[in-house]
Homo-oligomer: A and B are copies of this chain.
């Protein structure tokens, strides 16, 4: 009976992962709906469409980056408890705001509001992932003896990133370029050093 009750609180990891992936995939693709048909024709139309295309590309890779981080976190999780559903909804909620920020930025590219919404959404997405990592009811892959210290260390990096992101959010109201630059920096860091590579390096460091 007790084994049964314990099992009650466990969630099918695959379903959890696919649901999250579904939300990321949809958000990525909804971005295209905000691309407006240019009023001018031919090559002139392409020039008119360029700012929107750049914002589209930026938002696409920012959401992709959030997906890769989420993906990496779940690769190391084995058993998922019932409170993870709530935390995960919170993680996904912030991501759904990125297309709203992108649309605002595409319409008023020189105003800071769109950039601020995008930066704040990503920051709160990471913060919620951190909350999930700290308070979520899950078990890491059991044969990873140094997961615990890593979790604490990664936490510190995340907190630093979060603090910087909130400062950048405010700076956006001065100039949107703080926000655009920050998002481009984030995406390129992820390209050069994806979470799995960072993780492997941290594992090596911990082992001395």
Show the binding face of A for B, using Cβ within 8 Å.
1, 4-5, 8-9, 11-12, 15, 17-19, 21-33, 35, 37-38, 41-43, 45-46, 53, 56-57, 60-61, 64, 67-68, 71, 75, 82-83, 85-86, 89, 92-93, 96-97, 99-100, 103-104, 107-108, 111-113, 116, 143-144, 173, 190-191, 194-197, 199-200, 203-204, 207
Contacts and interface: CB of A to CB of B under 8 A. Distances in A.
A8 B104 contact: no
Contact of A89 (B15, B46, B64): B64
Given A28-B92, A57-B93, A8 B196 contact: yes
A21 B194 CA distance: 22
Contact of A22 (B17, B22, B43): B22
A31 to B, nearest CB: 7
B42 A173 contact: yes
Contacts of A83: 194
Contact of A27 (B1, B4, B32, B191): B32
Given A29-B26, A29-B30, A46-B113, A100 B194 contact: no
Identical chains bound together, number: 4
Nearest to A64: B89
Given A8-B199, A9-B197, A41-B108, 5 more contacts: A11-B71, A32-B100, A35-B100, A43-B113, A53-B97
Contact of A82 (B43, B144, B194): B194
A92 B116 CA distance: 26
Contacts of A24: 19
Nearest to A144: B4
A191 to B, nearest CB: 6
A116 B89 CA distance: 24
A176 to B, nearest CB: 10
